[in-house]
Every structure is written in C-alpha cells, then in structure tokens.
C-alpha cells in the first residue's frame, strides 16, 4: 500500500499553512482576552465595587453558621477583613458566629452572650458592611447610630471601630457628654457612624441645626437592657421618635432584655433572638472564679486593705455603691499607702479626668481602681485579675456585669463579693437563680489588718477628710435604704455606730431619716401592746412616700444639674474648709431627712406634707420633661447606683417596673388631659368663675363716665342681662350676638368716619384762613425789610428782643409791638447809617412809601447814650435774650 502524497512522513516538516492558521487562532484569542482585560480595567472603581458587592450579597443567603470558624468565612468586604486581620481578629467567637450572618442579611437581632465574649465585634462588623453595601459616602450623612450607656463604653467602642474600620472611607464620630457641644455640632453633620451616649445625642437632636437622622440605616444599642430601662426611658423615647421607622436594629447585652414592651418601643421587625449561652450551665464566663465572704459592716475597710496588701502585683477593680464612698476611701487608702497604685473613677469627676483614669488603668499592669457602677458595664480593661464588690450589687444582673470586668475572652479572673450577714441569704439566692456559681470563703482573721486607728488619726488632723467620711457614711446608709430589694437590703440591720467608727469617725453622724424610722417601730410596739407584742421591723415605704422621694430626688437632681461643675473628687489635698458645695450637699441631706420625718409625721403634718409633696410631684414632672443632655448627665454622673439617686432612683422605691410604668402613665395621662383642654372648655371655665374683663374707665371734663376699653357694646349689654349661662355656650345665641355686635361695630365705625371727615374739613378751612393771613403778612414784611435785608443776613429775629419802649402801653396790638421792636433796632441801624428819622405821612400805596410810612410812624427812642453805648446796649439785650 503506497502512502498518500498529502500526509507528511515521520521525518517530514510540518505544513506551514496549518501552523500559521494555528498560530493565528491562538494570537487572536490572546488579543481578545487582552482587550477585555483592558476594558475591565477602564471601569470606574465604584462600578467594580458594585459588582463585588452584588457577588457578596448573593453569598449572604448561603451563610451556614456551622461552617464558620473565621471572619473570612463570612462574605465580608476586603476592607473589613483587612481591618480585622490587622487587629489580630481571625477566629470568630460564638456570638459573632451566630449573629453576624443574620445581621448581614438585614435582620433585626437581639444578641445575648456572657461578658467578654466579643459582642462588640458582633455588631461592628455588620455596621461596616451595611454602609459598604450601600457605598455610603460622607455626603450621605448619618448612616449608623451606636448608643452606649456610659461615656467610657462609647469611647471604647469608638476605638475598636476605628481599629477595625480603618480601611473604609466612612467618617466616624464620638459624641458623649462633658465635651464642647459647639465643637461637636460643627462636625456632627459629616459623620456616617456615630457612637454616642443617649443624653448627648438627644441634645444634638434638639439643639444642633441641620442634624438629622432621616437617612439612618442601622441602630445599635450596646448594653441594650440598660439603655431601655427606666433610667433612660424618656431620653430613648425621644430619640426613637427622631429615627426613621425603616431601619435595621441590633441589640446586644450580657443580660438581654426580654421585656416585650421595651422591644415594642423599638418597633423591631421579626427579630432574631440569639441567646448564645442560654443553655450553658452558668451565665458567667467559665474562666471566672467567684467567691463571696461574709463580714460585718465595720470590718469591710480592714478587709479591703488586707486584700490589697496581699495582691500588690495584681490588677483589681473595687466596686462601691456611691461616689462619696469612692471619694473618701480613695483618699484614705492613698494615705494608708498599701504599696499599689490606686485610681478612682466615678461620675462626679470631670470628663478629662475620667478619660485620664480610664487610660491609665488600661496601661497599668498592677493597680487598683476604686469605681462606681459607671465602670460596671462593657469596659474591657485588659488583664484584670480581680473584681472585688465592696458593696453588695443592686441585683444579680449588676453582679454579672461587675464581675465580668475580669475573665474576658479566654482569660482567667477572680471575683470576690463582700456581703453583710443580712445580705447573704437573699443575694446568694438571687445569684444562684441567675446561674452564677458563687462559693463562700472565710477570712483568715490572722491576716486581717485593722486600719481603724490610722483612719481616726487621719480624720483628727484633717477636717476636710472628716467631712468626707461623714458624707461617705450618710451616702452608704442612704444607698442601702433606697435599695429596691428589702429582703437583701435592710437598713435597720446595719451596725451604724460601729460602721462610723470603722470609717475613722469618733461618733456616727446624725442621720435624721434613720432616727425617725427607728422611732416608728417603737410607737407601733406601744400601740400593739394590747394585742400582742410584735418585733420591731424595718419600716417599709408607702407609695406616697415613694412618690415624695421620687419628687425630692428629681428636684435635687435638677438643682444639681443647674449648678456649676463639681470639683474633681480624686485630686488629693484639698483645703480644709468646708466648701459651699459641701454645705449644699449637707443641706440637701438634711432636707431629705426632714422630708422623711414629715412623711412619717402626725395627721396635720401629713396634710401639710401632702401639699408639699404635690409641689414636689410637679417639680418631678418638670424634671421629666427636661431635655436629655441633663438626663444623660444624671445617669452618668453617678452611674448605676453610683450615687443615691441616679440609676437607682428608678427602681429602688419598692415598686417594680410595671408599677413604675403605671405611675408614669398616670402622670403622662394627666399631662395629656391637660393638653387636650379646648378653648370652649376654657371659656366655660372662665364663665363659671364669673371672670370679668378689666375695664379702663375715664371721665370727661364734665364728669361724664367714658369706658374706653373694652368698648361697651350694646348687643353684649343686652345679652348679658338676658344671659343664663347654666347650659354653657349656646352657639345659635352666640351667632346672633355676634351679628348684632357686627352691626353695632359697623355703625360705630361709620360715625367715627363721619366725625373724622368733619374734623378734616374744619382743619382744611382753618388752614386756608391761616394761609391767607400769612400771605398778606409776608407781603408786608417783604416790603418792610427790603431795604436792609443785606445787612441782616445773620438770620436774627428781631421779635425776640425785649421791648425797650417801656413807656408804651401794653394794650397796644401785637403787630404794633412787633413794629416797635423792629423800629428800635432799625433805628440803631438807621443811626449807624445816619438816616433821617423825620416823620412822614403815609401818602401812597407804593412799597417804598409804605415802608417809609412805617418807619415814620415809629417813635425814636432817645436813650441819651452815645452811639457806641447804644450799640453795646443792644448787644447786651441780644445776649440776655439768647
Ligand atoms: N474574634 C475575636 N478574636 C480575638 N479576640 C476577640 C474576638 N472578639 C472579641 N475579642 C476580644 O475579647 C474581649 C471582649 O470583647 P468585648 O468587649 O466585645 O466583649 P463583650 O461581650 O462586649 O463584653 P461585655 O458583655 O462585658 O460588654 C476584647 O478584648 C476583644 O478584643
């Protein structure tokens, strides 16, 4: 079989035509690829980004929570992922894993997880992605609002946002109280992501022109249960009113709110509830070891001192229930020099100082921070070893947040709660109910260092310190007294005088409300002797008293807030004298004690106090109506129970939330009823009160009475006689009356117009007459003065001269007088000109003649003086005239 000539043999060369075709095909393909790439490269950035976004969004629906372990497993923008990586966040925590996907899908989320479990990133990542998706720019204004309950927490969140979102182009702002409002107002309009405290935000909403949230896409409430509780209720309601209904809402907290009412306020749409640790054995971090000790009140300071002495290399936070305790004990402990640096953080410090303390404590490796509950929530101080709760927390939730300042994100930590014997049972029970595992440990009495004597000596030398000790004492007692849970907080079980001694005081300061309280049970005892002897019990507050207290505290708050800034409590070495402010505080306390006394007083007293309480209630309502910057200040000033009235004031009165709300509703409904009063109702009221309009009455010269205002109207007069107002306002009658009044008015008006016209005519006639007269006169004058007008160009009016012709009769006419006056002067002038003054008869009507005639009728006055003397006389007369 021969081979075909076409097919190349094994050693033959390839067909050049075919090779060329092959090469051509390849080349054109490459070319078209290059072309496409070039075309793509030419696309504007935003368009490329939009394509990326649409690809990411397509992946949102595919998110499978079980497959996610890293942030990069979520369909996130490169910018966000880069930010997370740079901040060393790679693996997700449980709450992040479960909520980020839902939030990306645009759902409303309620997230709850233990303290330190990473909730901040769980909402910050969706925040960044939400604006990225919308390609938000600074000109789009406010896109996301993140609200935090305290300034420190807002600041901390802002810092994390800055770190994670640094690759994005959005602008972020921190708006908290204690800063220059004007400065903030200038910038607030350009902010895309706003981290803020509720009060300050509302203040800007109210006061900053152009600031609005109409474009808002997302609202985040950090520590949502706190923000939605009574303390921020009014502020938050007002804020929510200013927000668009169509938005995404994210709520996060370690103790999430389950109140349907709270959530309804936010108008959430089918929210996703994510309780990460709902089924966990404990509600606190597993790495947190929790203990409590029971000791007497008078031992507590020595216990604290001993604790610090044995933990000199550790970082600890000690929680107190009031600012005044922090202020006093901080000073005293600084003097005791325990060998560790001590810091203090509370709401009475100025903002700058608060920030300084916060940052200092973040930086320090070993230190102790004395704090009120403003530091209880959310703050992420690194590497805190111990949380010591010096005063029993208000409730289990507060305990959880306080203790959560340690053992954060996989770290270990220890929490120690100091309880009084009277607090132990109730509190431990509450904690166990909330799945908080606490164990009792005992104090080693040998290790206890008693500092009472040292404190006594400090106070003996320092009057200011002594006064602070007294205030600390009263403040603590009051905080216990005002606690809601009376089973745990029983003021009557406190060893008051021993406690005072432990503070270094020689005697316990007088606490009037306690004295009054103590008398009360004795009275009760006496009364009940006939029946059976009952044990004296701690008095419980009646609702009225609660109301009164509420009013009092609100009033006090408003006074405090209106007042100037408070001095920094943490500065050491103040003057010894009692400051005005301190005096004021003392007075406030006494005032409150007075009130307590009154509320427990006898019948007539209680009547008096009802009036007062009414007044106070009004003050309270006013306070509630006030703007929210103040409200926020108030919350923050004392923190959660930091001072006696701040946060606690909302729930320490023995009322539960429902009752409180009912009370508020009642007040609100009262005010709305007031608002709804119509003008008709008002008019009826006035009529019933026989209200009479003021009358202005004057009398004519003849003694006739004239009522000027309001003008008497016949119709009204008639009607008032006929009026029977028993049935209120009769609209038909009123109409008739109005018509009659209208007629009357028109008639009156016509009369007035007629009178005016007549007056006008008369005036015109008079004017004409006057004009004629003047015309004649001016003609005469013109003629008379023609001759010497050149000489008299200084405008001198000779008529102003006194009459030198005394011999002339005063009965002569005015014109003659005038002429005479003129003549005397002209005579002089004539004299100067050496004129002939001989008498000439008036012979003709010519001007010249008339003038002459005039001159000639004048009697020359012979003064008998020389010319120069005459001149002087005239000058003298002129001067005296002017
Ligand atoms: N994915 C993560 N990887 C590493 N560290 C993380 C991660 N998420 C959070 N953290 C760290 O965990 C700590 C606690 O986080 P965060 O403050 O968000 O907790 P939280 O749940 O908000 O606590 P709290 O309830 O007290 O407010 C922070 O120091 C944070 O940097």
Give the Å distance between the CA of 116 and the centre of ligand 1. Answer: 5
More confident residue, 576 or 29: 29
The predicted structure's pLDDT at residue 121 = 98
Task: Find all residues with CB under 8 Å of 327, minimum gap 6, and list them.
Answer: 344, 346, 348, 468, 472, 569, 570
Q: List pLDDT tens digits, range 410-435.
A: 999 999 999 999 999 999 999 999 99
With cut-offs at 50, 70 and 90, classify the pLDDT of residue 515.
confident
**CB of 111 closer than 6 angstroms to any ligand 1 atom:** no
**CB of 89 closer than 6 angstroms to any ligand 1 atom:** yes
Whether 426 is in a domain gets the answer no
| 520 pLDDT higher than 90 | no
Give kind and range of the element (H or E) at residue 326: helix 323-336
Give the DSSP per-residue string, 569-582: TT-S---SSPPHHH
**Cα dihedral value 517, 521, 523, 524, nearest 10:** 140
Task: Find all residues with CB under 8 Å of 245, minimum gap 6, and list them.
Answer: 267
Mutate to test the pocket of ligand 1, among 408, 415, 640 (most ligand atoms within 8 A of CB): 408
Whether 138 is in a domain gets the answer yes
**CB of 380 closer than 6 angstroms to any ligand 1 atom:** yes
With cut-offs at 50, 70 and 90, classify the pLDDT of residue 734.
confident
- The CATH number assigned to the domain holding 172 equals 3.40.50.300
The predicted structure's pLDDT at residue 868 = 73
Give the Å distance between the CA of 90 and the centre of ligand 1. Answer: 13
Q: List pLDDT tens digits, range 580-589.
A: 333 334 434 4
Give the DSSP per-residue string, 145-188: EEE-SSHHHHHHHHHHHHHHTTTS---EEEE-TTS-HHHHHHHH
The predicted structure's pLDDT at residue 40 = 72
**CB of 255 closer than 6 angstroms to any ligand 1 atom:** no
Give nearest CA residue, ligand 1 atom 29.
Answer: 380
Whether 257 is in a domain gets the answer yes
Q: From CA 526, how far away is CA 532, in angstroms rounded? A: 10
More confident residue, 666 or 775: 775
SS3 319: strand
The predicted structure's pLDDT at residue 821 = 43
- Average per-residue pLDDT for the chain: 74
**CB of 92 closer than 6 angstroms to any ligand 1 atom:** yes
**CB of 120 closer than 6 angstroms to any ligand 1 atom:** yes
Give the Å distance between the CA of 285 and the centre of ligand 1. Answer: 12
Domain total of the chain = 1
With cut-offs at 50, 70 and 90, classify the pLDDT of residue 800.
very low
Q: From CA 414, how far away is CA 284, in angstroms rounded? A: 11
What's the rounded mean pLDDT across residues 345-361? Answer: 95
Q: Which ligand 1 atom is at minimum distance from the Cα of 404? A: 26
Mutate to test the pocket of ligand 1, among 115, 120, 163, 411 (most ligand atoms within 8 A of CB): 120
Q: Which ligand 1 atom is at minimum distance from the Cα of 254? A: 25
Buried b (16+ CB within 10 A) or exposed e, 228-258: bbebbbbbbebbeeebeeebbbbbbbbbbbe
Q: Which ligand 1 atom is at minimum distance from the Cα of 380? A: 17
With cut-offs at 50, 70 and 90, classify the pLDDT of residue 37.
confident
Q: From CA 586, how far away is CA 592, in angstroms rounded? A: 10
Give kind and range of the element (H or E) at residue 284: none
Q: Residue 143's domain spans which residues?
A: 47-275
More confident residue, 221 or 806: 221
Mutate to test the pocket of ligand 1, among 76, 116, 127, 162 (most ligand atoms within 8 A of CB): 116
pLDDT above 70 coverage of the chain, percent: 64
The predicted structure's pLDDT at residue 226 = 94
The predicted structure's pLDDT at residue 689 = 58
**CB of 283 closer than 6 angstroms to any ligand 1 atom:** no
**Residue 270 backbone zone (phi > 0: left; psi -120 to 50: alpha; other: beta):** left
**CB of 115 closer than 6 angstroms to any ligand 1 atom:** yes
Q: Which ligand 1 atom is at minimum distance from the Cα of 113? A: 21
Q: Which ligand 1 atom is at minimum distance from the Cα of 95? A: 21
**Interface predicted TM-score of the whole assembly (ipTM), two decimals:** 0.99
**CB of 378 closer than 6 angstroms to any ligand 1 atom:** yes
More confident residue, 18 or 213: 213
Choice among 287-296, 392-401, 557-566 with the minimum mean pLDDT: 557-566
Whether 850 is in a domain gets the answer no
Give nearest CA residue, ligand 1 atom 30.
Answer: 118
**CB of 177 closer than 6 angstroms to any ligand 1 atom:** no
The predicted structure's pLDDT at residue 387 = 98
Choice among 314-318, 512-516, 766-770 with the minimum mean pLDDT: 512-516
**CB of 404 closer than 6 angstroms to any ligand 1 atom:** yes
| 366 pLDDT higher than 80 | yes
Buried b (16+ CB within 10 A) or exposed e, 4-18: eeeeeeeeeeeeeee
What is the pTM assigned to this prediction? Answer: 0.61
What's the rounded mean pLDDT across residues 488-505? Answer: 94
Whether 249 is in a domain gets the answer yes
Give the Å distance between the CA of 120 and the centre of ligand 1. Answer: 6
Give the Å distance between the CA of 103 and the centre of ligand 1. Answer: 18
Q: List pLDDT tens digits, range 683-727.
A: 666 565 554 555 555 555 555 555 555 455 444 444 444 444 444
Mutate to test the pocket of ligand 1, among 380, 399, 413 (most ligand atoms within 8 A of CB): 380
Whether 142 is in a domain gets the answer yes
Q: Are 874 and 831 in contact (CB under 8 A)?
A: no
Give nearest CA residue, ligand 1 atom 3.
Answer: 89
With cut-offs at 50, 70 and 90, classify the pLDDT of residue 656.
very low
| 495 pLDDT higher than 50 | yes
pLDDT above 90 coverage of the chain, percent: 48
Whether 561 is in a domain gets the answer no
What's the rounded mean pLDDT across residues 449-470? Answer: 96
Q: List pLDDT tens digits, range 524-541.
A: 444 444 443 333 333 333
The predicted structure's pLDDT at residue 860 = 53
Give the Å distance between the CA of 115 and the centre of ligand 1. Answer: 8
Give the Å distance between the CA of 225 and the centre of ligand 1. Answer: 18
**CB of 504 closer than 6 angstroms to any ligand 1 atom:** no
Give the Å distance between the CA of 93 and the centre of ligand 1. Answer: 8
Give the Å distance between the CA of 164 and the centre of ligand 1. Answer: 13
Choice among 20-29, 281-290, 607-616, 706-715 with the minimum mean pLDDT: 607-616
More confident residue, 758 or 90: 90
Task: Pick the closest to residue 149 from 242, 258, 254, 225 (CA basis).
Answer: 225
| Strand extents, DSSP E, 693-820 | 696-699, 705-709
Give the Å distance between the CA of 380 and the centre of ligand 1. Answer: 8
Give the rounded distance of the alpha carbon of 131 from its chain centre.
29
Whether 173 is in a domain gets the answer yes
With cut-offs at 50, 70 and 90, classify the pLDDT of residue 194.
very high
Give the Å distance between the CA of 401 and the centre of ligand 1. Answer: 14
Task: Pick the closest to residue 854 from 775, 781, 765 (CA basis).
Answer: 781
Give the Å distance between the CA of 767 and the centre of ligand 1. Answer: 96
Q: List pLDDT tens digits, range 751-786.
A: 888 888 888 889 988 888 888 887 766 554 443 333
**CB of 362 closer than 6 angstroms to any ligand 1 atom:** no
Please work out, in degrees rounded to the nearest 5, the angle formed at the alpha carbon of residue 122 by the alpha carbons of 121 and 125.
65
């Amino acid at each position: 079989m021969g081979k075909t000539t076409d097919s190349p043999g094994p050693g033959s060369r390839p067909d050049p035509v075919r090779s060329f075709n092959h090469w051509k095909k390849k080349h054109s393909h490459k070319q078209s690829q290059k072309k496409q790439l070039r075309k793509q490269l030419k696309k504007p950035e935003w368009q490329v980004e939009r394509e990326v976004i649409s690809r990411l969004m397509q992946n949102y629906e595919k998110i499978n929570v079980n497959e996610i372990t890293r942030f990069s497993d979520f369909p996130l923008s490169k910018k966000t992922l880069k930010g997370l990586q740079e901040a060393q966040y790679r693996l997700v925590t449980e709450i992040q894993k479960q909520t980020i996907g839902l939030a990306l899908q645009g759902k409303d989320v309620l997230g709850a997880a233990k303290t330190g479990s990473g909730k901040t990133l769980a909402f910050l990542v969706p925040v960044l992605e939400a604006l990225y998706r919308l390609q938000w720019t600074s000109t789009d204004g406010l896109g996301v609002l993140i609200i935090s309950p305290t300034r420190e927490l807002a600041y901390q969140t802002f810092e994390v946002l800055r770190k994670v979102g640094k690759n994005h182009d959005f602008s972020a702002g921190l708006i908290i109280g204690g800063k220059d409002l004007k400065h903030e107002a200038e910038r607030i309009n350009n902010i895309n992501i706003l981290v803020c405290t509720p009060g300050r935000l509302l203040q800007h909403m109210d006061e900053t022109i152009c600031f609005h949230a109409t474009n808002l896409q997302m609202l985040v409430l950090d520590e949502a249960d706190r923000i939605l509780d009574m303390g921020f209720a009014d502020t938050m309601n007002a804020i929510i009113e200013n927000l668009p209904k169509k938005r995404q809402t994210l709520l996060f907290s370690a103790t999430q709110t389950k109140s349907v009412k709270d959530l309804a306020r936010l108008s959430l749409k089918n929210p996703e509830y994510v309780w990460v640790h709902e089924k966990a054995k404990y509600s606190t971090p597993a790495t947190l070891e929790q203990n409590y000790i029971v000791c007497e009140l008078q031992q507590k300071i020595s216990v604290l001192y001993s604790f610090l002495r044995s933990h000199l290399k550790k970082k600890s936070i000690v929680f107190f229930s009031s600012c005044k305790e922090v202020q006093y004990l901080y000073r005293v402990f600084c003097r005791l020099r325990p060998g560790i640096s001590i810091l203090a953080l509370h709401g009475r410090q100025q903002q700058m100082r608060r920030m300084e303390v916060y940052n200092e404590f973040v930086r320090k490796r070993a230190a102790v921070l004395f704090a009120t509950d403003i530091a209880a929530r959310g703050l992420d101080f690194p590497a805190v070893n111990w949380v010591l709760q010096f005063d029993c927390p208000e409730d289990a939730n507060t305990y959880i947040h306080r203790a959560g300042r340690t053992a954060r994100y996989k770290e270990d930590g220890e929490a120690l709660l100091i309880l009084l014997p009277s607090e132990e049972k109730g509190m431990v029970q509450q904690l166990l109910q909330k799945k908080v595992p606490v164990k009792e440990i005992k104090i080693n009495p040998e290790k206890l260092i008693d500092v009472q004597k040292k404190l006594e000596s400090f106070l003996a030398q320092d009057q200011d310190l002594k006064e602070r000790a007294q205030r600390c004492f009263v403040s603590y007692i009051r905080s216990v007294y005002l606690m809601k849970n009376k089973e745990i907080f029983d003021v009557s079980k406190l060893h008051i005088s021993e406690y005072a001694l432990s503070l270094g005081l020689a005697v316990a300061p007088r606490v009037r409300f306690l004295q009054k309280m103590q008398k009360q049970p004795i009275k009760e005892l006496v009364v009940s002797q006939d029946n059976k002897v009952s044990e004296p019990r701690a008095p419980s507050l009646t609702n009225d008293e609660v109301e009164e207290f509420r009013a009092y505290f609100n009033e006090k708050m408003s006074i405090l807030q209106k007042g100037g800034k408070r001095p920094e409590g943490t500065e050491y070495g103040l003057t010894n004298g009692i400051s005005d402010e301190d005096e004021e505080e003392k007075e406030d306390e006494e005032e409150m004690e007075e009130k307590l006394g009154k509320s427990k007083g006898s019948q007539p007293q209680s009547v008096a106090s009802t009036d007062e309480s009414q007044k106070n209630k009004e003050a309270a309502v006013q306070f509630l109506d006030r703007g929210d910057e103040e409200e926020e200040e108030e919350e923050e000033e004392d923190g959660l129970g930091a001072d006696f009235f701040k946060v606690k004031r909302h729930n320490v009165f023995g009322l539960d939330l429902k009752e409180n709300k009912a009370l508020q509703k009642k007040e609100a409904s009262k005010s709305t009823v007031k608002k709804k009063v119509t003008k008709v109702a008002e008019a009826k009221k006035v009529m019933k009160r026989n209200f009479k309009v003021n009358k202005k009455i004057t009398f004519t010269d003849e003694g006739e009475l004239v009522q000027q205002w309001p003008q008497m109207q016949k119709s009204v007069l008639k009607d008032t006689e006929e009026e029977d107002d028993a049935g209120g306002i009769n609209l038909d009658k009123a109409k008739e009356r109005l018509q009659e009044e209208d007629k009357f008015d028109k008639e009156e008006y016509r009369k007035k117009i007629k009178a005016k016209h007549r007056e006008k005519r008369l005036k015109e006639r008079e004017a004409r007459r006057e004009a004629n007269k003047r015309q004649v006169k001016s003609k005469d004058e013109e003629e008379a003065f023609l001759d010497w007008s050149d000489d008299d160009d200084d405008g001198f009016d000779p008529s102003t001269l006194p009459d030198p012709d005394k011999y002339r009769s005063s009965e002569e006419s005015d014109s003659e007088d005038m002429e005479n006056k003129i003549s005397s002067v002209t005579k002089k002038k004539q004299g100067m000109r050496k004129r002939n003054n001989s008498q000439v008869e008036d012979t003709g009507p010519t001007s010249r003649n008339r003038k002459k005639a005039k001159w000639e009728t004048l009697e020359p006055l012979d003064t008998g003086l020389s010319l120069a003397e005459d001149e002087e006389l005239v000058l003298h007369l002129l001067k005296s005239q002017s």
